[in-house]
Amino acid sequence: MLLFTCAAGVSAGAVGAAETNDYPTSARADYVFGCMKVNGETRQALEQCSCSIDVIASLIPYEKYVEAETVASLNQAVGQIGAMFRGTNEAKGILADLRRAQAEAEIRCF
């Protein structure tokens, strides 16, 4: 009975960890590469950029991160499509959540 309880506890812990680490490795690597381009290609930048995506991942689920990155990208579009994404409250809210997570990551990691 004790063995079953311990095994159940480990399974529950693994599920919790999976929920907080839902970013694929390729998305994390892409973020770190871009971050390092902006902040210098040094070992310190690698550590800070890796920390930054970890903080963002702890604050925003991956699905919301993808939405926010899409909105940020489309915000830069000119014309009607860009205006559509810049002008909606939903898009502004999604982008604000990402900006708050990025600010928190900046404070913690840089």
Domain ranges of the chain: 23-109
Predicted confidence at residue 73, as pLDDT, reads 84
State mean pLDDT over 13-33: 75
| Structure confidence at residue 107 as a pLDDT band (50, 70, 90) | very high
More confident residue, 63 or 3: 63
pTM of the full structure: 0.74
| In the predicted structure, residue 12 carries a pLDDT above the cut 50 | no
| Residue 84 in tokens | 């559509």
| In the predicted structure, residue 15 carries a pLDDT above the cut 70 | no
Q: What is the mean pLDDT of the chain?
A: 82
| In the predicted structure, residue 90 carries a pLDDT above the cut 90 | no
Predicted confidence at residue 85, as pLDDT, reads 65
The amino acid sitting at 20 is T
Q: How far apart are CA 45 and CA 35, in angstroms?
A: 8
Alpha helices in 21-88 (DSSP H): 25-39, 43-59, 62-75, 79-87
Q: Is the dihedral of CA 11, 17, 20, 21 positive or negative?
A: negative
Q: How far apart are CA 96 and CA 68, in angstroms?
A: 9
pLDDT in tens, 30-78: 999 999 999 999 999 999 999 999 999 999 999 999 999 988 888 777 7
Give the number of C-alpha atoms closer than 13 A to the C-alpha of residue 47, restricted to the C-beta side: 6
